[in-house]
Amino acid sequence: MTNKEAVQTFFSTLWTDPELARSVCTEDVTWITTRSMPIPGNEGTIHHVGWKAVKNVADSGKDLDTGYIPETMSYPNQLFLDAEDDHVIYQFTMQCKTKAGKDYINDYLFLVKLKDGKLWRFQEYWDSKQAAELLFG
């Protein structure tokens, strides 16, 4: 599996097949989130280390009463995917429905560092203000 394929596999299966997503990650995989939207249960840091912490970030939006519905997620625009050595840049649009019946759509950019062909560290860039307003009201 190429580095690009590993990154695409991770994001396309994170909510539908978490074990497959986990299989393309190192043991100490780290998700670096934005400061503007703290992760429930881990508000004190933006560095979420290990699979349990990464899965907590992924699931933090769906556990809310107004959160997203994972089964409705789609990725209508794969805007950019490029790799150089162990670094991958991945930009995409994600959309879904929320439990409140609203449409969620947001653009994401991830800078990913791989180690031995597995996701090791990735940082997100997205409109967290828009997401917070939609999900938290």
Q: CA-CA distance, 27 to 101, in Å (whole number)? A: 36
Task: Give the C-alpha separation, 91 to 108, whole Å.
Answer: 6
Decide which of 115 and 65 is more confident: 115
Model confidence, pTM:
0.89
| 24-51 confidence digits (pLDDT tens) | 999 999 999 988 887 878 888 999 999 9
Q: What is the mean pLDDT of residues 64-86?
A: 89
Query: Which band of pLDDT confidence, cut at 50, 70 and 90, is reported for residue 70?
Result: confident
113 HSE (CA, 13 A, CB side): 9
Contact 121, 29 (CB under 8 A): yes
Whether 10 shows a pLDDT value over 90: the answer reads: yes
- CATH architecture assigned to 3-136: Roll (3.10)
Q: So where are the chain's domains? A: 3-136
> Do residues 110 and 90 make contact, with C-beta atoms less than 8 angstroms apart?
yes
